[in-house]
Structure 1
C-alpha cells in the first residue's frame, strides 16, 4: 500500500476502473494522492504487481463484512403444534430439507397450549417422526423431548 510498494513499476488501474498500463510507482502514487485515495497492490504479477487506486479503509470494511457474512452459520426455526395437518407437516419438512441442503441448520419447536399438555406423548412421537424424515439430509445435534425441541445440522 502507498509507499510500502517496493516494485519500480506497476500495472495501474485508476479509481474509475480504467487500465492505465505499466506505470512508474512514483507517478502512480502522485496520481493517487491527487485524488486523495490510496495506491493498493491487488495482486502480484510476474513482471510487475497490479495496483489499484482506491479507498483502503473502505476495502478493509467490505472484506471484513464479507468474511463475517460467510462465516456466520444460520439457524432456521420452525414452530409446530402437535395436531398439525399432514400437508402442513410435509411443507415444513420440505422447507427444512431445502435449508439443510443449502448449509443452514434447522431447529424445530413443538408448542403445546392448554389441554394439549395432556398429550405430550404425541408431541414426542412427532419429534421422532421429524428425526426420521430428516435423517437422509441431516444429522441430529440435539433432541430434547422434555422441552420438545430438535435441532438438525447438515450431514
Structure 2
C-alpha cells in the first residue's frame, strides 16, 4: 500500500520553490529519481522586454524568409495527344490561373500504343501551349521519360511598370480599350 502511494507520487511532476531563493526544484520520475535545479528570471525590467521583442521580430523575419525560400507548389495538368481544341484551351486557362497565383505548372502528356510514332502531334500541342502561356510564364524544354512527355512553366518575373494581367499601356487582350 505504501509502495503504491510512493510510485503514484513519483509518477507526477512536483514543483516547489525553496524559501528565500530564486531557484526551483523539479522532481521528474516514473522510475528513476532525478532532480533538476534551474534559475527563474524576473522579467519586470524594460530591457528584458525589448530583448524579447527583438527576438520575436527576428524570428518573425526568419519565418517570412523561409516561406519565400520554400519551393513553390507544382500544379500538374494531364493531357493526351487526342485532346480536343476546346479542352486544351480549358487546360491552358486553368494553367494561366495557376501561374497568376504564383504556382508552377507542369503539363503531362501520356502516350499509349501507336501514339509514340506521331511525335509531330505532341510537338504541335506543346507549341500551342507555350505560345498561349508565353505572356504568363517561361517554359522549360520538353522532357520525355518513357511514355510520358512533360513541360514545366514558371511565372515570369514582373517588371515594375508591368501589370499582373499583361495589359496596360501596350494594350493587350485583357487591358485594352475596345
Please state which band the TM-score falls in when normalised by the shorter chain. Answer: 0.5 to 0.7
Cα distance in 2 for partners of 1:86, 1:148 equals: 19
* Counterpart for residue 41 of structure 1: 52
Cα distance in 2 for partners of 1:100, 1:114 equals: 32
Q: How many residues align?
A: 111
Question: RMSD across aligned C-alpha pairs, in angstroms?
Answer: 3.4
**Contact 1:127-1:145 at 8 Å conserved across structures:** no
Mark the CA change 1:40 to 1:142 in structure 2 (over 3 Å): closer, same or farther.
Answer: farther
The structure with the largest strand share of the pair is 1
* Counterpart for residue 149 of structure 2: 148
* Counterpart for residue 125 of structure 1: 124
Instruction: Identify unmatched segments of 5+ residues in structure 1.
Output: 1-25, 30-37, 44-50, 53-59
Q: Which has the larger radius of gyration?
A: 2
Render the CA deviation track for 1:11-57: whole Å, top value 9, x for unaligned: xxxxxxxxxxxxxxx5637xxxxxxxx996325xxxxxxx99xxxxx
**TM-score, normalised by the number of residues in structure 2:** 0.49
Structure possessing the higher relative contact order (Cα contacts under 8 Å, 6 or more residues apart): 1
**Contact 1:142-1:152 at 8 Å conserved across structures:** no
Cα distance in 1 for partners of 2:53, 2:149 equals: 52
Cα distance in 1 for partners of 2:62, 2:111 equals: 42
Q: Which runs of 4+ in 1 moved over 4 A?
A: 62-67
